[in-house]
Amino acid sequence: MPTTITKPGCFATLVTNAEYGLGAAVLGQCLQDYNSKYSTVVMVTKNVPEATLTLLASTWDVVLPIPELNSNDTASLALLQRPELGVTFTKLHVWKLTEYKKVVFLDADTMPLCNIDDLFLYNELSACPDAGWPDCFNTGLFVLTPDVETYDGLVKMAADEGTFDGGDQGLLNSYFSSWAHGDIKKHIPFVYNVNPNASYTYLPAYRRFSKDVKNIHFLGSSKPWHYECQDGAIIGANVSQHLRGFLEQWHASLNKALIEEAAAEPEFIQFRSTGGSISGGESVVSVLSHIAGQIKDKDTQREKVKTGQL
């Protein structure tokens, strides 16, 4: 009988486009920088461009292509009738990573500020309270046990009942509904999932505890990749001081990931030989815009292929 090798655990995230790819590159880079002893798995869908996959391969242990919808099982077929749930459904794939005993899922718009391996001490389903409605957990970070039965149960619930907020957070809170008033050991401290965009209603607590923050979650529509950063400084006046610091840290990690990537890719070596140096601030911005341009070109190309323009 073959032995099933079960690995202790992994950090996982999901990337469905080039922008979130930049976010995941930073997340993977931070996990590496803080010497996580766990494997890292980035799940990618078919829309993710080549340049992004290359960048992710240098910052994550495993780049795992997953289907957006799996038409091989009945529960999934029911979901096909509800295309608005596509991305939600895709995130559920994390329950299929059954070669791992435990997974810590992190959104691609999160940024650890230190080693967060202690999250593996928690059991399914552990998460932090949502700042908007603390009786719900926020699904930007959660601890789970991969299991196909749970996956099927989640898919069935999504197909039968939908999700009350249109996303994965509503669905997961309905499925793991005992979280709010059940085992307090499944409540992860808020410092593991802090939104720096929030204009805090409890500012004294922010002042008192913000130095203990372990993981930043850039919630909402404005993401770190929407800000321009030059010579290590965020351009733009309407950014609060604490958000500015985290954004600059995010861009510094992205530059680090891009420099390592540039060093490994012949086309970037060519870029260097044409006069660009990748050690200084300004030139790092050039490398970034070079890669961003390449990502955009490939996306446009792909869009044209899809719509038959090319």
Residues within the interface to Mn ion (CB under 5 A):
107, 109, 140
Question: Cβ contacts of residue 88 below 8 Å, gap of 6+?
Answer: 158, 163, 167, 168, 171
Cα-based angle 266, 42, 187 (whole degrees, multiple of 5)? 145
Token couple for 42: 């980035």
Specify whether the CB–CB gap between 47 and 18 falls below 8 A: no
| CB of 182 or CB of 220, closer to Mn ion | 220
Q: Which residue is nearest to Mn ion (CB)?
A: 107
Question: Cβ contacts of residue 123 below 8 Å, gap of 6+?
Answer: 102, 143, 145, 185, 186
Q: In the complex, what is the shortest distance from the CB of residue 132 to Mn ion, in angstroms, rounded to a whole number?
A: 13
Assign 137 to helix, strand or coil: strand
Q: What does the buried/exposed string (b/e) look like for 276-309 if buried means 16 or more CB atoms within 10 Å of the residue's CB?
A: bebeeeebbbebbebbbebbeebbeebeeeeeee
| CB of 76 or CB of 253, closer to Mn ion | 253
Phi-psi region of 197 (alpha: psi -120 to 50; beta: other; left: phi over 0): alpha
| CB of 20 or CB of 271, closer to Mn ion | 20
Q: In the complex, what is the shortest distance from the CB of residue 220 to Mn ion, in angstroms, rounded to a whole number?
A: 9
Token couple for 276: 């660009």
Q: In the complex, what is the shortest distance from the CB of residue 231 to Mn ion, in angstroms, rounded to a whole number?
A: 28
| CB of 109 or CB of 130, closer to Mn ion | 109
| CB of 109 or CB of 261, closer to Mn ion | 109
| CB of 107 or CB of 261, closer to Mn ion | 107
Q: In the complex, what is the shortest distance from the CB of residue 305 to Mn ion, in angstroms, rounded to a whole number?
A: 29
Strand 126-129 relative to strand 7-15: parallel, antiparallel, unpaired?
A: unpaired
Question: Amino acid letter at 54?
Answer: T
Q: In the complex, what is the shortest distance from the CB of residue 152 to Mn ion, in angstroms, rounded to a whole number?
A: 25
Q: In the complex, what is the shortest distance from the CB of residue 56 to Mn ion, in angstroms, rounded to a whole number?
A: 17
